[in-house]
Amino acid sequence: MSDLTIEEQQNLFKIKKIIDNSIVLSNILELATSIIIRIAGKDIADNIKNQSLNRTVLSNLVANRIKEKIINRE
C-alpha cells in the first residue's frame, strides 16, 4: 500500500467505504423485505393495487424507498 500515491490511497479508501455501505444497505434491504413479507403475509404476497407482487418486486419497492430517503437527506 505504501507504493501507492496519495490519490490512489484516497481512491482505495473511498472504494472500501462504498463497499462497506453497500453491504449494510443490502442487509437492511433483505431484513426489511423479510419483515414485510412475514408481517403482512398473504395480503402483501398476493398484490398491491391489483398488481402481482413477489419478493423481487417488494425488494425493489423497499430499495426505491430507501433511495428516496437517502437522496432527500443530502
pLDDT interval class at 48 (50, 70, 90)? low
Is-contact 6 47, C-beta < 8 A?
no
- Is 27 a member of any domain? no
**Full residue range of the structural domain in which residue 60 is found:** 32-74
* Chain mean pLDDT for the chain: 84
Half-sphere exposure of residue 51: CA atoms within 13 angstroms, side-chain side: 7
Residue 41, pLDDT above cutoff 90:
no
Task: Give me the number of domains the chain comprises.
Answer: 1
Cα distance between residue 63 and residue 8, in whole Å: 31
State the pLDDT at residue 47.
Answer: 60
- Is 45 a member of any domain? yes
Higher-confidence position of 34 and 49 = 34
- Is 52 a member of any domain? yes
Give the percent of the chain with pLDDT over 70. 80
- Is 13 a member of any domain? no
| Reported pTM | 0.68
